[in-house]
Amino acid sequence: MKDKEGSIVISGYPQEWFPSVSATIGDRYPERSVFQICIALTSGPRFLLVLLWYYLTARPGSSLPKFVAFTGIARTFLCGGWVYITSTDDHDWHDIFMISYLVLTLPWTLGCLATSPVNAKAVKYRKILAGLFFGTLVPLIYYFIQHKVHRVPGAYTIYAFFEWSLILYDVGFDAVTALDFEGFELRLVDTKTFNKGTTQLAGAYDEDLKKAKQPLAQEFANAFSWTAMVDTLSDVYLGFAFWSILTSLGVVVWYFPLWHMGISGYEVAILATISPYLLCARPLRRLVFSNLPVVYVGSLTTLIAFFFVTPEIRLFLTTTGLFFACLAWAANFSLESTTNKFDVKTSAFSLGLIMSSIAKFANQTNNPIWPLMNSINGGWNRVGLALAALAIARTHFRQTSRPAVDTTMYSGRDGSQYLAALGFGGLLFALHSLLSDSSTMITWVWDGYPVKGPLAAPHGAYTIIAMGCGFLISIAKQELATSPLFYIVGCIGAAFLQSFHGWWGYYGALVLTVYLMAITPSFIQACARYPPGSTFGTGFMVYNLLVLAHVWVVAYAFVPGGFLLRERTWLVMTIMMGLIGVGLSVTMRNSANLGPAAKPKSDFGGLKRTSRSYFVYALAGLELLAISTAYLRFPRYDYKPYHEKEKMVTAGIWTVHFALDNDMWSSERRMRDLIKEMELDVVGLLESDLQRIIMGNRDMTQFLAEDLGMYADFGPGPNKHTWGAALLSKFPIVNSTHHLLPSPVGELAPAILATLDMYGTMVDVLVFHSGQEEDVEDRRLQSLGISKLMGDSPRPLILLSYLVTKPKKGNYNNYVSEESRMKDIDATDWDRWCEYILYRDLHRVGYARVSRSSITDTELQVGKFIVGGKESSEDQIDESEVPEGYRFPAQFNGEGVRGHKYHVFDKPRYFP
């Protein structure tokens, strides 16, 4: 809600009239103390309930009741944790206990249902209460976001009702055990009366009743095996390693044309993926099939690349690792195509993608084992390498009997192998370009403030949950996954993603996500019945061509024939879905063909019941990790500017070179350090759209915004074909619009026009990146367009820009003109070409240029302004005449720190 001056305020009574749980409990005496006493009184009965439930459900040969009991005890202790450690005492530990409690609610609920005795009434109530509990989470999160993000009056009251409902459902679920305990008897035997005294817990149900089948328990009927679980986790981790290796190549290759500003020659590295073509040669095929563990070990060369500083060496090692990884997985799919292990491999392939996406979600879109990561910038490379080595050892070097396979004969000889390859190539591209990061499709539909759609955090977890749903369909309903109707649904989802912004576009994205994950095993299965060399090799080649098309749509100004795909993401999407349709025709025909040669013996839906349960365990663990990450990353929106007392805003502009430093390391943390130490309240970041295969499907603004405590606006999305603009702000972003400036010849020029609430005054900030020097007419038209945007704004305004012009010459006079009413922050600075800061209706205090070190190829320019102050004169004053709170940080004087210092004029400039 806003007041008369447009400032954002939080609603109170009468809009918010019902207290939430936390508001009722309070943080201090007496409310909190009373609640703590009540929790302490209920802890004893709670422990007793868990103990009695274990004795009621325990049965020989099953470890599930023990797991349920452990979960129940852990939840009780965690409840005490978040009750007795308030958010005021320690916010982090309060959140850790709270989220752990909620996470363990899922296995507790499912475990109780799975072990529940035969009691129709009790099972019915448990299902109803469990459904209400988890169903309530959706509106609970929705109204919390409406309150926290959108500041909707009354939303917190509605949220409070759902929050109290969760407690009632949780307590009610446990209270249902009273129905099961109706025939449960506790006997205390007097030890002085009998020679052998015992305390006995006896159930009224006889042994036959205890052995009866229980709801949901069929899936977990066999004893839990840690050996089988470790095997499953090893397979999944190898899938994770494959996706980590595959997704790393694009960004490693991209570094070289980025610095060459055109084709570098290193792009040939993408052909590493077509290594399965080697399997066309019979001797090589036999060699690979006989030494598959060695081939897997070869893929680890990507994971050791981080040891080397030289970019060319890391590129070579990454390429080599991917060469062996693609060869290993194609051979493995073919070798296991007639065994039940085939379904294990395809499931591991799918869950590996989910795990990769979760790893990036937890690490703010950087995969921690990529070659551009290290221990300094957030990498977990050594841990990732060690786990991969252990997974290979566990999966491929353990003693197993492999069925004899004739590596020269394959059932598929009807020419359909290339149709299957087309489908596999289209599917692999779809999985990589859209699902390798949970925030990619969110940036497609993002359209600025006020928020009208999903946020990368927490809604990235929705994407991961949708991926899990698709995986469950793939192992349970193969006939649904490969049906023409489901394909049409997937196409509709793709069309919505391409055509709509906000929630409607994201709903389409979720539908497409479920579809892509559901068809993955059946598409791999269709390829596995054909000769692996020509089929998987062609599939990867098709994937490579789509990757190039994915690049061409935005890099058209730098590549041959770029005009053919200029700004045609819709065409690439159409081709992708068309290829998937081609592949679907093969899977449908294979499903219809009942011949044993046409259909693998794995009987896909396909995993054995025991194997399927372990993959469901693994999926449940991954999804809980995603939900936990979403909770921990939920924005707090309690951001404060650095100089609130002086009503000062420090604004900067920086071209950050796609968050790759000069040595090909991810640079977000180095950028963070300089932005924080320069005390920037507002900063425009250019060359910031990383949501493409060649840039790793990343988003630097997520880490920077969360770590620095800033609002973030990601400029025109990846489907708008720009190199990107972004805005970070300590001040609330009241409204923002995204613009594409006229670009008839060259690359598109993005701009963000945002209205910020600066100390109660509405101030516009415009972030803009103009076209290249070669496109003269483009830049002229763009300067006129930006001038009009600035002139039409009725508020004070700051332009943070990349203009490609000399001061007071050419297009500069369109930006600084009577129409725009803008002033140059320092008209005497003649040594500029690209970056400029312009302003109006603010008191200019200072201006500084800070060297980039090796982070990027462009300096950071910074200006200081007083909101609501008088206009400054054109004179300059010495720093000694400036109040302490108005000065730039002194640590960058002289030689500065970490390669950053005030340069050009060697010190900041100040104005009266």
Instruction: Give a yes or no: residue 674 inside a domain.
Output: yes
Q: Does the pLDDT value for residue 519 go beyond 60?
A: yes
**How high does pLDDT run on average in the chain?**
87
Shared domain check, 240 and 101: no
Tokens for 374, please give them.
């290290």
Rounded average pLDDT over 434-458:
95
Contact 187, 202 (CB under 8 A): yes
Contact 863, 798 (CB under 8 A): yes
Order of strands, edge to edge, in the sheet holding 711-714? 711-714, 725-729, 682-686, 648-655, 860-866, 843-850, 909-910
The DSSP letter of residue 468 is H
Contact 710, 728 (CB under 8 A): yes
Instruction: Give a yes or no: residue 865 inside a domain.
Output: yes
pLDDT digits (tens, 9 = 90+) for 812-850: 999 999 999 999 999 999 999 999 999 999 999 999 999
Distance (Å, whole) CA 80 – CA 93: 12
Please give the pLDDT value at position 478: 83
Shared domain check, 670 and 623: no
**Domain end call among 632, 656, 684:** 632
DSSP sequence for 635-670: -------TTTTTTEEEEEEEE-GGGB-TTS-B-HHH
Query: Could you identify the residue written with the tokens 């007071």?
Result: 808
Q: CA geometry: angle at 611 spanning 610 and 612, to 5°? A: 90
DSSP sequence for 177-235: HHHHGGGEEEEE--TTTSSS--EEEEESS-HHHHTS--TT-GGG-SPP-HHHHHHHHHH
Instruction: Give a yes or no: residue 3 inside a domain.
Output: no
Shared domain check, 133 and 236: no
Instruction: Give a yes or no: residue 151 inside a domain.
Output: yes
Q: What is the CATH number of the domain that holds 827?
A: 3.60.10.10
Shared domain check, 542 and 683: no
Higher-confidence position of 682 and 638:
682
Domain that holds residue 48: 21-187
Please give the pLDDT value at position 313: 97
Contacts of 873 (CB under 8 A, 6+ apart): 911, 912
Residue 147: active-site member? no
**Domain end call among 632, 664, 685:** 632
pLDDT digits (tens, 9 = 90+) for 26-79: 767 676 777 778 878 888 888 888 888 888 888 776 778 888 888 889 988 888
Helices (H), 261-399: 282-290, 292-298, 311-335, 341-362, 381-396
**Domain end call among 574, 601, 632:** 632
Shared domain check, 800 and 752: yes
Tokens for 50, please give them.
């868990």
Please give the pLDDT value at position 191: 57
Q: Does the pLDDT value for residue 237 go beyond 90?
A: yes
Q: Does the pLDDT value for residue 225 go beyond 70?
A: yes
C-alpha torsion sign, points 320, 325, 327, 328: positive
- Identify the active-site residue in 396, 432, 657, 769: 769
On the question of a cis peptide bond just before residue 635, with omega within 30 degrees of 0, the verdict is no
C-alpha torsion sign, points 217, 221, 223, 224: negative
Shared domain check, 675 and 602: no
State the SS3 of 271-283: HHHHHHHHHHCHH
Report the predicted TM-score, pTM, of the whole model to 2 decimal places.
Answer: 0.84
The total number of residues written for the chain in this structure = 912
pLDDT digits (tens, 9 = 90+) for 855-875: 999 999 999 999 987 777 788
pLDDT digits (tens, 9 = 90+) for 500-514: 999 999 999 999 999
Q: Does the pLDDT value for residue 82 go beyond 80?
A: no
Query: Could you identify the residue written with the tokens 């009373």?
Result: 34
CB neighbour burial string for 749-764, b if at least 16 within 10 angstroms, e if fewer: bbbbbbbbbbbebbbb
Please give the pLDDT value at position 195: 46
Shared domain check, 822 and 695: yes
Tokens for 727, please give them.
């805005």
Higher-confidence position of 691 and 638:
691
Pairing state between β 648-655 and 682-686: parallel
**Euclidean distance between the first and the last CA atom of the chain, given in angstroms as a whole number:** 37
Burial of 691 (0-12, 13-18, 19+ CB in 10 A): buried
Higher-confidence position of 539 and 228:
539
Tokens for 379, please give them.
């990498």
Shared domain check, 371 and 474: yes
Confidence of residue 122 (pLDDT cuts 50, 70, 90): confident
Shared domain check, 183 and 246: no
Contacts of 12 (CB under 8 A, 6+ apart): none
Helix (H, G, I), strand (E, B) or coil at 602: coil
pLDDT digits (tens, 9 = 90+) for 598-610: 444 444 444 555 5
Contacts of 120 (CB under 8 A, 6+ apart): none
Shared domain check, 178 and 105: yes
Please give the pLDDT value at position 194: 43
Radius of gyration of the chain (CA): 30
Instruction: Give a yes or no: residue 207 inside a domain.
Output: no
Instruction: Give a yes or no: residue 575 inside a domain.
Output: yes
Distance (Å, whole) CA 734 – CA 754: 8
Confidence of residue 188 (pLDDT cuts 50, 70, 90): low
pLDDT digits (tens, 9 = 90+) for 303-341: 999 999 999 999 999 999 999 999 999 999 998 876 768
Please give the pLDDT value at position 14: 67
Higher-confidence position of 189 and 665:
665
Shared domain check, 355 and 327: yes
Distance (Å, whole) CA 36 – CA 31: 9
Higher-confidence position of 284 and 96:
284
Q: Does the pLDDT value for residue 903 go beyond 60?
A: yes
Q: CA geometry: angle at 145 spanning 141 and 149, to 5°? A: 165
C-alpha torsion sign, points 840, 842, 843, 847: negative
Shared domain check, 657 and 788: yes
Q: What is the CATH number of the domain that holds 418?
A: 1.20.1250
Instruction: Give a yes or no: residue 419 inside a domain.
Output: yes
Please give the pLDDT value at position 831: 92
Query: Could you identify the residue written with the tokens 């003649």?
Result: 830
Confidence of residue 101 (pLDDT cuts 50, 70, 90): confident
Instruction: Give a yes or no: residue 540 inside a domain.
Output: yes
In angstroms, what CA-CA distances link 325 with 184, 273, 365, 437, 561? 57, 8, 22, 20, 32
Contact 848, 902 (CB under 8 A): yes
What is the four-CA torsion angle of 85, 89, 90, 93, rounded to 10 degrees?
A: 0
Q: CA geometry: angle at 179 spanning 173 and 183, to 5°? A: 145
Distance (Å, whole) CA 190 – CA 198: 8
Rounded average pLDDT over 773-777:
92
The DSSP letter of residue 404 is P
Please give the pLDDT value at position 8: 41
Please give the pLDDT value at position 860: 98
In total, how many domains does the chain have? 3
Distance (Å, whole) CA 385 – CA 548: 30
